[in-house]
């Protein structure tokens, strides 16, 4: 099995090494990771400057770009391998609920999914005294299960692991994205040269109580596995919006709805964001 590993905490992160060591028991592991921490890089792709790659080990590379850049480069041919699996992490800190949209860790797995490679993202839901070894073992089991069962189409697994020893893990929960109450604040300070700067901060996040959520599962000592896809459409809102009185003809009335052929996707390097 050819396995690609990336992350958003950067090439020097402890969690990356633990994941690479753990998955090397299953096959050949390649690491392509950002050269520095890129947490909260989301699904951003670098299109306005060249990307430089540095080989730092026989199968280890750093890129001066985002987690998405790393996976895109590796899967699209920089590494001469056909990958069977992409694993992203092990992230220091949980990637749950609404925060998933900011996550570089999850986005690396998204990029792999878009490129047709099965993928999962894995995070330890703690910031201090983090023990990655439990998540490393869980990653091996998951990789084996993905190889055996395959993944549903266009779907990646977002895995959050409590900061516990293997014997303390209560079980596994298939979960939904939770809802976070944002308490973020902007902190304004003045630098030594008298210029103002800002820092986005906030208190510990609070979460809406929900039995099915990723957060609830992790809080109860379970491994949370959330299947994610990139279709952000709120299908429940389609009908409500179609009842709005727009001053324009509908798509059907315009007569182009049934006849339209599926459009070919725009090229990535167009100016569209």
Q: What is the x/- site pattern for Mn ion, positions 1-20, by CB under 5 A?
A: -------xx-----------
Q: Minimum distance between the CB of residue 39 and Mn ion, rounded to whole angstroms?
A: 3
Site string for Mn ion, 25-44 (x = CB under 5 A): --------------x-----
Distance between CA 84 and CA 200 in Å, rounded? Answer: 38
Is 163 a binding residue for Mn ion by CB under 5 A? The answer is no
CB nearer to Mn ion: pick between 9 and 69: 9
Cα separation, 96 vs 103, whole angstroms: 9
Residues 57-116 that bind Mn ion (CB under 5 A): 91
CB of 34 to Mn ion, least distance (A): 10
Kindly report the number of other CB atoms within 10 A of residue 117's CB atom.
22
- Compute the least distance from the CB of residue 105 to Mn ion, in Å: 6
Instruction: Kindly state the smallest distance separating residue 91's Cβ from Mn ion, in Å.
Output: 5
Q: Three-state DSSP class for 29?
A: strand
Task: Collect all residues with Cβ–Cβ distance below 8 Å to 268 and sequence separation of at least 6.
Answer: 45, 47
At 48 the three-state DSSP class reads coil
Partners of 5 in the β-ladder: 31, 87
212 CB neighbour count, 10 Å cutoff: 13
Query: Looking at beta carbons only, is 9 or 111 nearer to Mn ion?
Result: 9
Contact residues for Mn ion, defined by CB under 5 A: 8-9, 39, 91
């Amino acid at each position: 099995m050819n396995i690609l590993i990336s992350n958003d905490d950067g090439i020097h992160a402890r969690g990356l090494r633990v994941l690479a060591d753990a998955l090397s028991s299953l096959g050949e592991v390649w690491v392509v990771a950002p050269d520095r921490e890129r947490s909260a890089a989301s699904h951003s792709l670098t299109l306005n400057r060249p990307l430089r790659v540095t080989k730092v080990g026989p199968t280890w590379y750093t890129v001066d770009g985002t987690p998405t850049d790393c996976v895109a480069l590796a899967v699209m041919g920089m590494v001469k391998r056909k990958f069977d699996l992409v694993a992203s992490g092990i992230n220091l800190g949980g990637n749950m609920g609404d925060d998933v949209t900011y996550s570089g860790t999850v986005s690396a797995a998204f990029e792999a999914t878009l490129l047709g490679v099965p993928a999962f993202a894995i995070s330890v839901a703690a910031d201090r005294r983090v023990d990655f070894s439990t998540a490393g073992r869980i990653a091996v089991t998951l990789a084996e299960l993905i190889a055996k069962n395959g993944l549903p189409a266009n779907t990646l697994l977002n895995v959050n692991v409590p900061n516990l020893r293997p014997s303390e893990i209560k079980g596994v929960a298939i979960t939904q994205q939770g809802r976070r109450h944002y308490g973020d604040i902007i902190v304004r300070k003045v630098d030594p040269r008298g210029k103002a700067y800002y820092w986005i901060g906030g208190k510990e996040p609070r979460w809406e109580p929900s039995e099915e959520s990723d957060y609830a599962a992790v809080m109860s000592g379970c491994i949370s596995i959330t299947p994610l896809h990139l279709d952000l459409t709120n299908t429940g809102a389609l009908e409500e919006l179609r009842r709005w009185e727009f001053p324009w003809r509908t798509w059907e009335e315009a007569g182009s709805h049934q006849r339209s052929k599926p459009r070919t996707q725009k090229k990535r390097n167009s100016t569209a964001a």
